[in-house]
Structure 1
Amino acid sequence: MSKYLMKSGNVLQFDDAKKPSLPKSDILVEDNIIANISSDLGTGDSGTEVIDASDYIVSPSFIDGHRHVFQAQLRTTFADHPFLDYCAHLLQGHMTFLILEDMYLAQLSGATEALWCGITPVMDHSHEAVSRECAEKCIRATLESGIRSICCVAPFANPQSLSPMVLLNMDGKHPEQISLLKSLIGENPLGGQSNDGRVAIGLGYDTMNHRPLDEAHDILHFAKSNDIPVIVHDVERFNSSSLKLLRRNNLPPPKLTLSHTREPDSDRAERLKSHEIGVVSAPETELPMATESPQLLTYNGRAAVLD
């Protein structure tokens, strides 16, 4: 669908004083971009699909800046877990049992759930893309859902064994997954011809805090040079203070978003602003997961959003 016209919807708008109103309006969309909003745009030409929105409220969508989409199927089983329990029981526990079709269904249901909740763009911190096969399933499900997404491939490896717990040596696995990321970036369009530009690739780089600095420098430089969005956890309490690592080691900041960041001092906040670093803070998540008390930020016109 390249052009459609939503007629007579109750369109949520805000004036300069941020006072809302719901005037009856038409919205014309051309090539996925809002081209016009007016009280009466007619019925369009023969190539325009007309949608009767007279019984509906039409509003901007929510933007989710940090979501592990595939975890939708498992969310209620870990709702009361602090951060370390979540890592042990989900990332290094239940996730181990997901086969490829599980990954596909989990991703599809998670993305569809987001859409039904009014979320159309999402930054997907994708721990399930542990191999090319898994990444392809994830991207396919994301495309089929219809959501707009940045699929941030996050280097990660399932344990080799749960009983006893045997973790995989990431020295061999990590470069392999970075190579996977680079190969996905080379796909145009990502995932095939069904991708009309809604789904792009990104990097979830939590391992930055635990890898050799020269390796981190090379990967971040690659991301910056290729304009790849990067999302990292920024939780000092659990040895994942990504912003501090960047500052201390003069690592190149790419197009970066910090998740779980809380209570920055003025110097830290100024650095976020000067480098246009995004912040995602989720009070409903931070408190029960014991990442310490969060504080929402608004700076340079960009606001923190909920998980």
Structure 2
Amino acid sequence: MGLNSVRLGKTGLQVSELALGTARFGNKRSDGGEEIPQERAHELLDRYAEAGGNFIDMADVYGGGSAEKYVGDWLADQDRDEFVLASKIYWPIREDDPNAQGLNRKHLRAQVDNILDRLGTDYVDLLYIHRWDDETPVKEFMRTLDGFVEDGRVHYLGASNRDPNAWQVAKANEIAKREGWEPFTNTQIMFNLVDRQVEPEYLPMLDSYGLGLMPFSPLAGGFLTGKYERDESPPEGSRGAHEERFHEMYLTEENFEVLDTVREVAEEYDTSPVQISLAWLLNHPSVTAPVVGPRTVNQLEANLNAADIDLSSEAFDRLDEAAQAPY
């Protein structure tokens, strides 16, 4: 089976129920190599498109711009209009230049042109702010973003990461509404079975405004794949083996209790924790399309298989109750 299409928030645009993330495309490893070089990036894109996928998630800083370049090179042999391209702007492109970062008008205008150049296209379908900018007035960046929609370089706007928080997204949209500008219609934030900090305030705000949600890190950085065990050292080369923050965030007893339930449900469905963890998000009423970030085609296949799981309401509720929400 192929991927189904879902509505992008309250827009008229249809996207694949799983988005393909490109954060590792061209990203430099400590040994000087790339996490995902161009050839493998194109293999991932080929398989994703073959499965009916059309929603490709990028950012101007992924791989120092390489992610967009790799996608653009691949897109040159495709029908561009068949794909929904998302990218993001905020982070510095020149560390010593205060105007080459954030959401000031100069940086936004320069970067949207750079994004289009790397992609080899006239427009992006969805442009996110990659985080909030406390130094730039909201009216300034919302007016600038509205101009991109007005001139056709961007179709829809979104806000990414936990900063901005719920009230900041709402404030920006109220300003846009008052001024007659394009509002944020979509968001991207971390959300998975063991990281549910967005539930008390963020999800109700999304539901109230009718905003789409594309959760990133849907497998909790690999914890929900099931490769970690309580009483064993993390697998060599894994994030848990060398990242102290990952260890503190995920390798906790309460998270392993959630993983126990994920494994139980996976066994009942004769599938893996990967598919069950993604299926929970695919069935969540606030979620539009989780963003998966596979390193290999085999990992992508495992992600795609989640869309074929008919998760019962009883199984959804068991998973939901196992993961203690922060309220």
TM-score by length of 1: 0.48
Higher strand share: 1
Q: Which has the higher contact order (CA 8 A, sep 6+)?
A: 2
Structure whose alpha-carbon radius of gyration is higher: 1
